[in-house]
Structure 1
Amino acid sequence: MHLKTRLVIWLHFHNSKDYIMKYIYTILSLTIALFIFGCSKDKGNYDYVSKEVITINGIESAYTKIAAVDRITVDPEVSSTEKDADFECFWGVYDSRVLGVLVIDTIAKTKAIDYQISQSPKDWTLVFGAKNKKTGVSKYVISVLKVGTQFSRGWYVLKDDGGQTDLDLFKSSVGIVPEDKVENVYSVINGKKLNGKASLLNFQFNYRTNPTGAYTTFRSLYLMSDKDVSVVDISSLKELNDFNHLFYEVPATKAPGIITWGALGGNYIVNDGQLHSLNANLTSNTGHFGARRVKDGVNTPYKLSKYFMMGNGQNPIFFDEMSSSFVSCAASPTVLNLLTDGTNTMISVNNSNKNLLFMGTKTASPYTGYAILQDKTNPAIKLLSSLTPAFPKLTIGSETIKVTDKLYNATNYTLILDDENLLYFTLGNQVWSRNLSNQNEQLQFTAPAGEEITFIRHRKYASTVQTEAPFRYNYVMIGTKIGANYKVRMFTKTSGNLSPAPEFTLEGKGSVGDVMYISPSNSVYLNNF
């Protein structure tokens, strides 16, 4: 197998890993050099060591553009250590994910480029080459060209009217604050709504299916209500699969509770308390979730809670309500991963005689979380428990929530992920914070009269890509309902305390289940509580 074929196959499996792209680009530069400028006449000079150094400046490592709308305009600086260098230049675009021979589409044969983006929505590779015609020495610069659509960037709000679920899109093309709204965008495009009340959104950058007959990988968004699921292509919002086509064997009951992902390509749906999975990294993956996972070798009955703990590169943790046990899973096995007690655990991982009121992720690295537990025998006993997994062990800490604590009667919860050591929760029409280190509770927000708090999440986006700087955010999102309408207030925070007023507010019709910001430059979005 020659270098180019090996490289393309390697890219097919690894092109989503940003931290190795510089290495890939170096290899690509060498590969492209073999076949772009490889047709020059052979003058018999086989001394390939050249003292000439060509320098190219003014080209970004990544560009994000909207198909049929944006242009890419670049005029790089090209110089050489050789005097009187005479350059011939070109710009090209190719899809590095295609198996086989790389086909480069030449879009300009000039140093400067002003090009209308016409490529289909996905990640492309943009290459610029400059060759000194006098010496034959060449230099190449490669960038990522992320081509999206009007649907590729913005705030998605999953909402319902009490019986059916739909999606609103708040478009944000120049900064994180939206400037336009597309109401009920899911039903407008697909001609239907989801039955049930809005629950969760989940993004998957590599959902694989065959809507046109050939298997293709899509940047996709799962929409989940308490009675239905749909997965859509994020570039068009057209449905790729519905509940009845997401499984090899369609479950008899439509009752989705969780949709999330984990390490090594694992993707998971909990339906009617039963776990189904697919492994996105397998070449045999068809976009269908397998049969329900059994709990153990004797098929002990189980029913998973709607709450879960997940993190990038980590296996998720679930809670079996029947046995009061924490469990986990990996991408490929057909059984659940049963957990055991960590050395210093204060509550048994298995058969704890507890109900789960809440669970979520606190930090991604180290992987930690929290749960709120209620004793089954004496429901007056409520516990705030830290969760520290070291698979297959789980260490559970415990502190009693006092009846006088505001947390004791809380409803909605969200952990502040990777920031201050705080848990936010709602009590009536108020939002409170609890310091997880010293148990101090503080009032953060009071909803106006007539508004009911229905949703609270902490979400942040901290992309290191320079062009994404205007879209970075760190918000505590508070969703309320007033009559038939919703408001989602986006609060910044300082030392864990909410700002006096939200930075902006999303408004629409219905009641909010989840909110997620999508960018064409990012592939990882945690959907934890």
Structure 2
Amino acid sequence: MKRILYIYIALAAVFIQSCKKDLGNYDYMDTEVVRIDTGGIGATYRILRLSHLQIEPEIQIPEGQDLQYQWLLYGKQTTNNAVPPAKEVSNQLNLDYIISEPVGEYIAELIVTNNTNGLKSNVLFNVSVTANMEFGMMILYQTAQGGDVDFIRTPALSADIATTTQTKGLYSLTMGKYLAGQAKFIWSARQAYQITNWITVGSDNSLGRFLGSDFTLIRDQEELFRNRELEINPQAYVFTIGSQQVMINGDKLLVATTGFFESDIKFGSPADGDYELAPYLSPKVSSGLGAVGYDTKHSRFIRYFISTNTVGDFSAPVEGQAFDLRNIGKDMLYMTSGASNYTYAFFKDKTGDARWLYGLNFSATDNGALAIGAYNMTSLPEISSAKFYQVSGFGGYAYYATADKIYNYAYQSTNTASLAFQIPEGEEITCMKYYRPTPNSMVADKEERVLYVATWNGTNGKVYELAINETSGVVNQTPLNVFEVDGKVADMSARAKGFG
């Protein structure tokens, strides 16, 4: 019994000793952990390519701590072997990053480092990058650094567009540099249920083909020409209704026939022949004609022969034709498409000050009856100062623009012109284009209801979105929108959605 009592006394002593305060000389510190509150932010961000990815997480910062932020973006791993590299996109707490990566699935990771104690915290966000190049106007402009591209979308261009947006710097964001040389042209080539769905951008010494859905690079000029020794000097480009990629390069005609694989659609050697082309093309050319240009050396229209890669004269005109395509004898000012799938060409007499509008049917076969009409514009107001032209696809009218005025020209009825729009003082027109997407699937009620006019004041560029009556050409005097552009606009082109 006494032995049991001694055991209890010993255990009690140990318990009391264990409860005594440790008086040793030790330093203790509570760990300060940074907490990232993602409540209400959402785990997945769906972002249009070349739009701003913006994430603003809440950070609970322990008092007196020095924090460092790092945002990483990397593609989701799709195979067991491929580990996508991480790209640092910001060192600020709140992320504001323009997504220039290709369409796909990504992870955005925020890493917060507590420099006071070296501890790290992190959080992951799913990012889905989608396409954004459906229905809109592409704006090619020149800056001091080089060429670049903006993309405009407004409710006037599609019933599916609810808000007005302007995505800036598509070229520089995609390529990491500006377009070299002097910006010349931009064109959207789209073919329903076919591989053709790309955007071609050219300057006087460079060329690039970009994916139509999101403007990612498909191939640059080194891969667009079969003849690598050819001097690159693009001047004009179209995708014709006959499914030909047609370009003027160094005053010569180059044609790339659409193939089954995009990689096969390259430009070969220039078409043989004695000619020098004006820098204008029409897309309304049948597959039978291949391509059409205007030979400034001999003042004539020439056509392309696919089988021999040559150019030559059209057939002799039948009786009653308005003019002979083989002998125009004038200087071309511009060429575009218009009503009835016709081509319309503006001319100036070689001597004197006479101006002309010629209508031609290049969507037909070469039967000697392609000259539709000739209209004398010489008596129109300020016609000798005209610099830019467009022809309606609906009615018998056209627009011509001087440095600061736009005139509505009724060529089929009265052969007169009236002032349609006055540009604000201090600005000069640099480009004028219809909203005319090809194909016009789902926007047939919108095409040619808007006219885009670009201006330059010596420092800044603007693009006016003007509502028009498609049958009369009357222009609403109050612009639907006015867009600021970071350069001088060289060209504009409508972007279609299409099928397939």
Q: TM-score, normalised by structure 1?
A: 0.62
- Output the CA distance in 2 between the equivalents of 1:284 and 1:404: 46
| Structure 2 unpaired stretches of 5+ | 1-44, 49-101, 105-128
Counterpart of 1:380 in structure 2: which amino acid? Answer: D
The aligned counterpart of 1:237 is 215
Match of 2:347 among 373, 379, 382: 373
Tell me the alpha carbon deviations over residues 270-327 of structure 1, each in whole angstroms, 9 at most, x when there is no partner.
10111111111356961321111113xxxxx211111222227565431011111101
Match of 1:503 among 464, 467, 480: 480
- Output the CA distance in 2 between the equivalents of 1:218 and 1:445: 37
Specify whether residues 69 and 313 from structure 1 end up closer, same or farther in structure 2 by C-alpha distance, changes over 3 A only.
farther
| Secondary structure of the corresponding residue to residue 499 of structure 1 | coil
Specify whether residues 498 and 251 from structure 1 end up closer, same or farther in structure 2 by C-alpha distance, changes over 3 A only.
farther
How do 1:126-275 residues align onto structure 2 when only pairs under 5 Å count? 149-152=131-134, 154-161=136-143, 164-171=146-153, 175-176=160-161, 179-205=164-190, 217=195, 219-250=197-228, 252-275=230-253
- Output the CA distance in 1 between the equivalents of 2:145 and 2:151: 20
Please state how far the C-alpha of 1:410 moved relative to its aligned partner: 1.2
Counterpart of 1:434 in structure 2: which amino acid? Answer: Y
Counterpart of 2:497 in structure 1: which amino acid? Answer: P
Tell me the alpha carbon deviations over residues 230-268 of structure 1, each in whole angstroms, 9 at most, x when there is no partner.
111233422222223211003543321111122443211
Match of 1:410 among 365, 379, 386: 386
Match of 1:323 among 273, 277, 298: 298
| Secondary structure of the corresponding residue to residue 310 of structure 2 | coil
Counterpart of 1:483 in structure 2: which amino acid? Answer: G
Match of 1:293 among 271, 278, 295: 271
The aligned counterpart of 2:97 is none
Q: Percent identity?
A: 19
Task: Say whether the 8 Å CA contact 2:236–2:248 is kept in structure 1.
Answer: yes
| Secondary structure of the corresponding residue to residue 235 of structure 1 | coil
Counterpart of 2:292 in structure 1: which amino acid? Answer: I
Please state how far the C-alpha of 1:188 moved relative to its aligned partner: 1.3
Tell me the alpha carbon deviations over residues 427-484 of structure 1, each in whole angstroms, 9 at most, x when there is no partner.
2311111111221110011111111111111223598866x69976621111111232
The aligned counterpart of 2:332 is 356
Specify whether residues 284 and 237 from structure 1 end up closer, same or farther in structure 2 by C-alpha distance, changes over 3 A only.
closer
- Output the CA distance in 1 between the equivalents of 2:496 and 2:477: 28
Task: Say whether the 8 Å CA contact 1:204–1:219 is kept in structure 2.
Answer: yes
The aligned counterpart of 1:515 is 492
Task: Say whether the 8 Å CA contact 1:348–1:396 is kept in structure 2.
Answer: no
Check if 1:387 corresponds to 2:364.
no
- Output the CA distance in 1 between the equivalents of 2:390 and 2:281: 12
Tell me the alpha carbon deviations over residues 394-444 of structure 1, each in whole angstroms, 9 at most, x when there is no partner.
32633443356432331111112x212112111231111111122111001
Specify whether residues 473 and 436 from structure 1 end up closer, same or farther in structure 2 by C-alpha distance, changes over 3 A only.
closer
Please state how far the C-alpha of 1:497 moved relative to its aligned partner: 0.6
- Output the CA distance in 2 between the equivalents of 1:200 and 1:277: 17
Task: Say whether the 8 Å CA contact 1:177–1:504 is kept in structure 2.
Answer: no
The aligned counterpart of 1:280 is 258
| Structure 1 unpaired stretches of 5+ | 1-66, 71-119, 123-146, 208-215, 296-300, 524-529
Please state how far the C-alpha of 1:369 moved relative to its aligned partner: 2.6
The aligned counterpart of 1:423 is 398
Counterpart of 2:417 in structure 1: which amino acid? Answer: E
Check if 1:492 corresponds to 2:470.
no
Task: Say whether the 8 Å CA contact 1:310–1:317 is kept in structure 2.
Answer: no
Counterpart of 1:246 in structure 2: which amino acid? Answer: L
The aligned counterpart of 2:283 is 310
Task: Say whether the 8 Å CA contact 2:191–2:498 is kept in structure 1.
Answer: no
Task: Say whether the 8 Å CA contact 1:226–1:255 is kept in structure 2.
Answer: yes
Task: Say whether the 8 Å CA contact 2:238–2:281 is kept in structure 1.
Answer: no
Please state how far the C-alpha of 1:374 moved relative to its aligned partner: 2.5
Task: Say whether the 8 Å CA contact 1:232–1:239 is kept in structure 2.
Answer: yes
Tell me the alpha carbon deviations over residues 322-375 of structure 1, each in whole angstroms, 9 at most, x when there is no partner.
111101236554112531243223333224332111222122x3x323222223
440-449 or 502-511, which deviates more: 502-511
Task: Say whether the 8 Å CA contact 1:326–1:339 is kept in structure 2.
Answer: yes
Specify whether residues 247 and 472 from structure 1 end up closer, same or farther in structure 2 by C-alpha distance, changes over 3 A only.
same
Specify whether residues 166 and 463 from structure 1 end up closer, same or farther in structure 2 by C-alpha distance, changes over 3 A only.
closer
| Secondary structure of the corresponding residue to residue 302 of structure 1 | coil
Task: Say whether the 8 Å CA contact 2:345–2:358 is kept in structure 1.
Answer: yes
Specify whether residues 162 and 327 from structure 1 end up closer, same or farther in structure 2 by C-alpha distance, changes over 3 A only.
farther
Larger radius of gyration: 2
- Output the CA distance in 2 between the equivalents of 1:254 and 1:462: 27
Aligned-residue Cα RMSD (Å) equals 3.4
Please state how far the C-alpha of 1:513 moved relative to its aligned partner: 1.9
- Output the CA distance in 1 between the equivalents of 2:232 and 2:316: 34
